[in-house]
Amino acid sequence: MSSPDRNAPPYDLSILIVSWNVRDLLAQALLALPAAAPVRWEAIVIDNASQDGSASMVAERFPAVQLVRNAANAGFGRANNQGIALARGRYVLFLNSDTIAPPGSLAGLAAFMDGHPEAGACSPRLLQADGSVQPYAFGQDPRPGYLLRRGWRRLAHGQALHDWATGDTQVVDWASGACLLVRGEALAQVGGFDEAFFMYFEDNDLCLRLREAGWRVFYCPQVSITHLGGQSLKQNPAAQRAYRDSLAAFYRKHYGWPAQAWLAAGLAAYGLLTRLRDAVRRSG
């Protein structure tokens, strides 16, 4: 009989949850984990200086959960990197605090990774609170040509470029960090999140680096979780600004100055065309 590998990770899955002032949603997410996860798992909550008692709630109600209390809001990427430093699982799951994972869902993602050794990361179908499929759960790199096609499809036809409701497992450029399972080996190879992205596009950046290192990223719609905060940015101007700022940062990191100039001009033109379209609709 062979002896057990003493260097093997003690857990199959490390679940990292960054939280900021969503105490009740966080409790709901943590309550769902035992039925959703594989047998050997750990959970690490990184609280970004919540003022609603989130950290105390975790300490009191979920003593088995490892808790990191930040004195200030460190942002999504930096807080997750704190969790990565503590994680001891074969796989690391980045999970939003406003998600609900159904029974067996996280175990299903881990099983998919077990069966696909080329996979560096995978993500499930994301459902909104009403059960509809969340848009922008996966996509292609935001290069100029891709953004042009996506913007034109929305402006001219009012349609998305991707079929978010697809039932086909597929290789994608990126998948949403709301629920992203990453192979520990791959994460050690490329590093964690780039902390220059405070919010948005940190998942795009991580998936791009995984692909550059030879790994594949999969969208796995046979597994679904509910993302209660997965609504559009349309009604949140601050989030829209953060989105544009992070997109510009992504371009500065990965693309040359001609693409950066194109992005600035393209965003201005898209904003103008959107306002004109809305004005025509109101007048009609």
- pLDDT > 90? residue 273: no
Which among 274, 262, 282, 258 has a CA at the least distance from the CA of 152?
A: 274
pLDDT in tens, 198-242: 888 999 999 999 999 999 999 999 999 999 975 444 445 677 888
Angstrom distance (rounded) from CA 17 to CA 29: 9
pLDDT tens, residue by residue, 11-68: 999 999 999 999 999 999 999 999 999 899 999 999 999 999 999 999 999 999 999 9
Quick check: is 71 in a domain? yes
pTM, full prediction: 0.89
Residue 202 lies in a domain: yes
**pLDDT tens per residue, range 124-162:** 999 999 999 998 899 999 888 888 887 777 767 677 778
Domain limits for position 143: 11-231
Write the CATH number for 92: 3.90.550.10
Tell me what the mean pLDDT of segment 255-276 comes to. Answer: 79
Where does residue 76 rank: exposed (0-12), middle (13-18), buried (19+ CB within 10 A)?
buried
State the total domains in the chain.
Answer: 1
Residue 251 lies in a domain: no
| pLDDT at residue 10 in the model | 92
Residue 176 DSSP SS3: coil
